[in-house]
Structure 1
Amino acid sequence: MADSDAVCVLVPTLDEAATIGDVVRDFRDAGYENVLVVDGGSRDDTQSVARSAGARVVEQTGTGKGQAVREAVTEHVDAPYVLMLDGDGTYSADDAETMLEPLMTGDADHVIGDRFADMRAGAMTPLNRIGNRLINRAFGFIHGESFRDILSGYRAFTHESFEQMHLTSDGFGIETEMAVECAKRSIPTTVVPVTYFPRPEGSNTNLHPVRDGGIIFLELYRRAKTNNPLFYFGSIGTVSTAAGVLVAAYVAVEWITRQVSHEVLAIVAAFAILVGVQLLMFGLLADLILTLHREDRHDRK
């Protein structure tokens, strides 16, 4: 096992009093004494329970999991390696070695724990399972990488690689944002199998599947602007062009069959087609520039 001083176990929390004590004790019993709990202003006894279990506890200055992670790593973590997980008891300290090994051997700078490798019964609802699959496929299509479980909250990464990322998400989109940054900046990333347990009875989730799922999809699309501009601008351009063609077809049919002119609609159709084509061209040019930039960066290495 790595020297405990080299690893900080980071646990962002919000109202996790029912589980945080066991989480902290499990990792300390496994030899990881540097456990940092960053709390988002819990209204229950999360902070006192975490302290009693032996964790160092700080209260974040802002709100949201993403802000908590950024603040913790940049201001409160001095260790070169960070092992991040949720405080809800769904991840096991038994997988810590598996998570950290690629970092210690230099094979990766960022490690994602694949929950689907060993997901216990009841750990994820059918709706969440479907949503996770769709998001992972969308990520692979848009960003050209298959990390299998980009929404996993079990992560291990080097402090140095975290500093390379440009992270702005405040909420649950932080995992998606980190995955995109790994793909965008070519940060060596590997995926390892972990066990994912159902939440213990008496603990409540802070995740809202529909709302947070929508936020994650929007984050994937927004981040495509700089990582896959052809998809980002091309998709908008395709929609605009297709809409313009449909309106133009309607105008043409109305003129041919009924001799009815729709001047305003004709102008709208022409404008939509013009904008769509320009966006497609812009996407192609942006993609070419991005490809040249990546090749230049690779050559400099």
Structure 2
Amino acid sequence: MANTPRIAVLVPCRNEAISISRVVDDFRAALPSAVIYVYNNNSTDNTEEIAREHGAIVRRETLPGKGNVVRRMFSDVEADIYVLVDGDGTYDARYAPQMIELLLREHLDMVNGARITDIEAAYRPGHRLGNSVLTGLVAKIFGSRIRDLLSGYRIFSRRFVKSFPAASHGFEIETELTVHALQLRMPLGEVDTPYRDREEGSTSKLNTYADGARILRTIILLVKDERPLLFFSLAAVFFFCLSIGLALPIALEFHRTHLVPRFPTAILAMGIMLLASLSLFCGLILDSVARGRAEVRRMRYLDVPFFEP
């Protein structure tokens, strides 16, 4: 095990020429021994040139979307500790040493930077509400261990990064990172970090409604993949209630008159009840498959050392 851990600061960015110099300089000052990687995701301004002038290692990912950039960064960069931070200058680099110290002291795999701010323009009410709703939803399903699901400021161990099966394309990546940690019951931590307003002239790439819908879709798909028994049981309950709702008037009429006046509806109710049964059995079978997949991911996670020897 190396005596001094290698630290890599990973900065995904697109058209952040206004703020990238500040981000690189601030993290250079906060973490003098770290190597700073700026991954340019199809910028049309001079983000890449500015980052290189300020001493960052600049690489490119042409597939659009933050998820694609994070997948590439995690694949390419070799380090012991990874600092993932957005390139918009809204996160405070001075908290990085504290977060790294917590990760090392407690032997954690992820330390999340929970955003705190009184600046309304920095953390818009729509974003704040959406984050609270989505964080609460993930907490109910996968466990309540993270207060800020969508934070773009995180510290990871090597074994987290090298065992993370990134599948997301865009801003859903934060949800996938969190669920991966919760599903494998990794040791986690969280530190309150100030959240600043963007530099003047800089605009957010996050669309409140479109990206919120994509994140919600990602949560639903993760529930299907990671908690199939819950997902298909809910579907079974829905089909069961729908079938009973259709069949009950027919059953009452048959009890009263011994006639079946709406025969097609009776057939439909029976078909929907069969769907309920199939959904339940699918959930039971896929739950066993999901457990096997989780065991494989866990073994892969344990196979990666906390520090590279």
Q: Determine if the TM-score, normalized by the shorter chain, exceeds 0.5.
A: yes
Query: Are 2:117 and 1:119 aligned?
Result: yes
Match of 1:100 in 2: 100
> Which string of whole-angstrom CA distances, capped at 9 and with x for unpartnered residues, describes residues 253-297 of structure 1?
78779x883322222221112211332344356557767998998
The verdict on how the C-alpha distance between 1:291 and 1:37 changes in structure 2, with shifts beyond 3 A counting, is closer
Where 2:162 maps in the other structure, the secondary structure is: helix
Structure 1 match to 2:228 = 229
Change (3 A) 1:207 1:295: closer
In structure 2, distance between residues paired with 1:11 and 1:120: 25
State the alpha-carbon separation in 2 of the partners of residues 179 and 102 from structure 1: 18
2:29 aligned partner: 29
Distance 1:248 1:13 in 2: 56
The percentage of counterpart residues that share the same residue type is 33
Return the alpha-carbon distance in structure 2 between the equivalents of residues 44 and 254 of structure 1. Answer: 72
- Mapped partners of 1:291, 1:168: distance in 2: 19
- Say if 1:56 and 1:291 are closer, same or farther in 2 by CA, change over 3 A: closer
8 Å Cα contact 2:30/2:97 also seen in 1: no
Alpha-carbon distance in 2 for matches of 1:262, 1:173: 47
The offset of 1:4, in angstroms, is 8.6
Question: CA 1:295/1:82 → structure 2, altered by over 3 Å: closer, same or farther?
Answer: closer
What is the CA–CA distance in structure 1 between the aligned matches of 2:144 and 2:295, rounded to whole Å? Answer: 18
Note the C-alpha offset of 1:146.
2.7
Partner Cα separation in structure 1 for residue 171 and residue 123 of structure 2: 16
Quote how far apart the aligned CAs of 1:131 are: 0.7
**Could you say which residue in structure 2 is the equivalent of 1:270?**
270
Partners of 1:243 and 1:52 in 2: CA distance: 63
Unaligned runs of 5+ in 2: 303-309
Per-residue Cα deviation, 1:7-36 (whole angstroms, up to 9, x for no partner) = 111000011111111111111122344110
Q: Distance between the aligned counterparts of 1:250 and 1:153, measured in 2?
A: 53
Structure 1 residues 294 and 41: CA distance shift in structure 2, 3 A: closer
Alignment RMSD (CA, Å): 2.8
**Residue 134 (structure 2) aligns with:** 135
2:166–2:176: 8 Å Cα contact kept in structure 1? yes
Aligned equivalent of 1:53: 54
The corresponding residue for 2:83 is 83
In 2, the alpha carbon distance for the partners of 1:155 and 1:192 equals: 10
Q: Is the 8 A contact 1:73 1:159 kept in 2?
A: no
Q: Contact between 1:37 and 1:55, CA under 8 Å: does it hold in 2?
A: yes
Cα displacement (A) at 1:87: 0.7
The 5 Å alignment of 1:1-301 reads 6-32=6-32, 33-75=34-76, 77-115=77-115, 118-122=116-120, 123-249=122-248, 251-252=250-251, 261-284=261-284, 286-287=286-287
Check the 8 A contact 1:120/1:195 in 2, yes or no: no
Does the aligned pair in 2 maintain the 1:4–1:34 contact within 8 Å? no
Cα distance in 2 between the residues matched to 1:168 and 1:104: 28
Number of residue pairs matched?
A: 294
SS in 2 for 1:74: helix
Q: Give the residue type in structure 2 aligned to 1:138.
A: L
Relative contact order (C-alpha < 8 Å, sep 6+): which is higher? 2
State how far apart, in whole Å, the 2-side matches of 1:210 and 1:187 are: 31
Segment of structure 1 superposing worse, 170-179 or 237-246: 237-246
